[in-house]
Structure 1
Amino acid sequence: MPEIIFSGPSGRIEGRYHPAKDKGAPIALILHPHPQFGGTMNNQIVYNLYYTFVNRGFSALRFNFRGVGRSQGTFDHGAGELSDAAAALDWVQSVNPEARNCWIAGVSFGAWIGMQLLMRRPEVEGFLSIAAMANRYDFSFLAPCPSSGLFIHGEQDRVAPLREVISVIEKVKTQKGIQIEHEVIPGANHFFDGQVEPLIATVDSYLDRRLGPAPAKEAE
């Protein structure tokens, strides 16, 4: 799990990168929760998503948004963080010029950033949007959504109530040729406390359907 530093719009960005053995392997970019509420690339969901993709042979990158950890800059209410994510995708693509495609996974605030990024990057083939805060951020830009993907939410989410996310998903589902799936984790809150294992199992099941069964796990 090599530590990396790459250039971003506000200076250096700190990340963790795991290159795939196959030069043509797809890319996975994982985006962490809200920087002002303790969100970092070491968030347990982000960490587990990272290795979920690594174990499927992806080149995976997770990183700290500006002002978090050793990443330079200050919180920018989403606009700067979207630029950080674009810079991260640029960097991982630059070291994987033969990559066939890309997936984006975002958690909470990171889900909002990730969905904005996929609207701008046609190479993004799929997405995972976990605990999307549809009650606090505008997701109306997903019309139409250019990629198929999965929304996952906790049944007991009090931060971003389930009904708010469902209303967003129902709008996106009407777009032709795009399949948006939605899973609810019983008993889970916004942070999936004590429920990370069933969350990742749900992600794995979805990726099995989209990509085929995962190969034998690589050593971490």
Structure 2
Amino acid sequence: MPEVIFPGPEGRLEGRYHPQKDRDAPIAIVLHPHPQFGGSMNQRVVHKLHYTFYNMGFTVLRFNFRGVGRSQGEYDQGIGELSDAASALDYLQSMNTGSKHCWVAGFSFGAWIGMQLLMRRPEITGFISVAPPANMYDFSFLAPCPSSGLIINGSADRVAPPADTVSLVNKLHDQKGITITHEVVEGAGHFFDDEHLETMSDSVKGYVRRRLTENTR
């Protein structure tokens, strides 16, 4: 899987790009957790999401937000990181002009950024939001949420408490024209140990495959 360097708003951004042989394959970007708490594109949940999408036939890009690894710039309270994500999607789309399906997946802080990206980019056809920190960040910008997607969290998450995730899901359920699927991994904490990581991955695979099948009917 090639390492890539592509232009971001504050200089270069470092990523891992995993293309399919099919030039028209669907595309996905994967966004990592909080840069100031050890989050990077090599975090295990991010890595798992990347390969979950790749093994379903997606061309996938994950990358480091500004100030992480070899990516230039400094942490910017989520504002700059959203611009980084937009630049990553621009880069991915420029390499895959024939793709008809575009997905965004994010874990924790990356889930918050990913759902903001939904609001900016109408071409995104689906999203995966893993352990969204609804207790820490304001998700009220999703009014309305422009795309259907999957929100998944662990029942034993102490970082992003399940009750706050349920409140977020309930608010989104009230909106018309989209379907929010909510799945809970029993016993999983915020960072998903090995057994729970596989369960999370299986949930993502099942959901994405259902959506792709619906879109090809």
1:59 alignment counterpart:
59
Kindly indicate whether residue 167 of structure 2 is the aligned counterpart of residue 167 of structure 1.
yes
Aligned sequence identity (%): 65
Contact 2:105/2:127 (<8 A) preserved = yes
What is aligned with 1:215? Answer: none
2:212 corresponds to: 211
Q: What residue in structure 1 maps to residue 156 of structure 2?
A: 156
1:196 matched to 2:197? The reply is: yes
In structure 2, runs of 5+ residues without a counterpart are: none
Two-structure CA RMSD over aligned residues (Å): 1.2
- Paired letter, 1:76: D
- 8 Å CA contact 1:122, 1:146 repeated in 2: yes
Q: Which residue pairs with 1:5 in the alignment?
A: 5
Shift of the alpha carbon at 1:58?
1.1
The offset of 1:46, in angstroms, is 0.8
Task: Specify the alignment match of 1:181 in structure 2.
Answer: 181
Amino acid of the structure 1 residue aligned with 2:2: P
Q: What pairs with 1:101-140 in structure 2 (closer than 5 Å)?
A: 101-140=101-140
For the Cα contact (< 8 Å) 1:21–1:57, is it kept in 2? Answer: no
Question: What residue in structure 1 maps to residue 44 of structure 2?
Answer: 44
Measured against aligned partners, the alpha-carbon deviations of 1:51-91 in whole angstroms (never above 9, x if no partner) come to 11111211100000000000011111100000000000000
Q: Within 1, Cα distance between the matches of 2:206 and 2:46?
A: 17
TM-superposed CA distance for 1:99, in Å, is 1.2
CA distance in 2: counterparts of 1:52 and 1:191, whole angstroms: 17
* Deviation by residue 1:145-197 (Cα, 9 ceiling, x = unmatched): 11000000110111110111111111111211200010111111111123211
Give distance in 2, aligned partners of 1:131 and 1:9.
27
Kindly provide the CA deviation profile for residues 127-155 of structure 1, in whole angstroms up to 9, marking residues without a partner as x: 00000000000000111111000000110
Matched residues in 2 for 1:103 and 1:207: separation?
9
TM-score between the two structures when normalised by the length of structure 2: 0.96
Cα deviation per residue 1:89-109 (whole Å; 9 max; x = unaligned)? Answer: 000111111111200000000
Alpha-carbon distance between aligned partners in 1 of 2:53 and 2:197, rounded to the nearest angstrom: 16
Higher helix share: 2
User: Could you tell me how far apart the structure 2 residues matched to 1:97 and 1:202 are?
Assistant: 29
Q: Which runs of 4+ in 1 moved over 2 A?
A: none
The residue number in structure 1 matching 2:93 is 93
TM-score, with length taken from structure 1: 0.94
Long gaps (5+) in structure 1: 213-220
**2:65 maps to amino acid:** F
Output the CA distance in 2 between the equivalents of 1:52 and 1:123: 21
Q: What are the equivalent positions in structure 2 for 1:29-40 lying under 5 Å apart?
A: 29-40=29-40
Cα distance, 1:21 vs. partner?
Answer: 1.4
Q: Residue 125 of structure 2 aligns to a residue in which SS? A: strand
**Residues 155 and 188, structure 1, Cα contact 8 Å, conserved in 2:** yes
Q: Secondary structure at the match of 1:160?
A: coil
Aligned-partner Cα distance in 2 for 1:145–1:156: 27
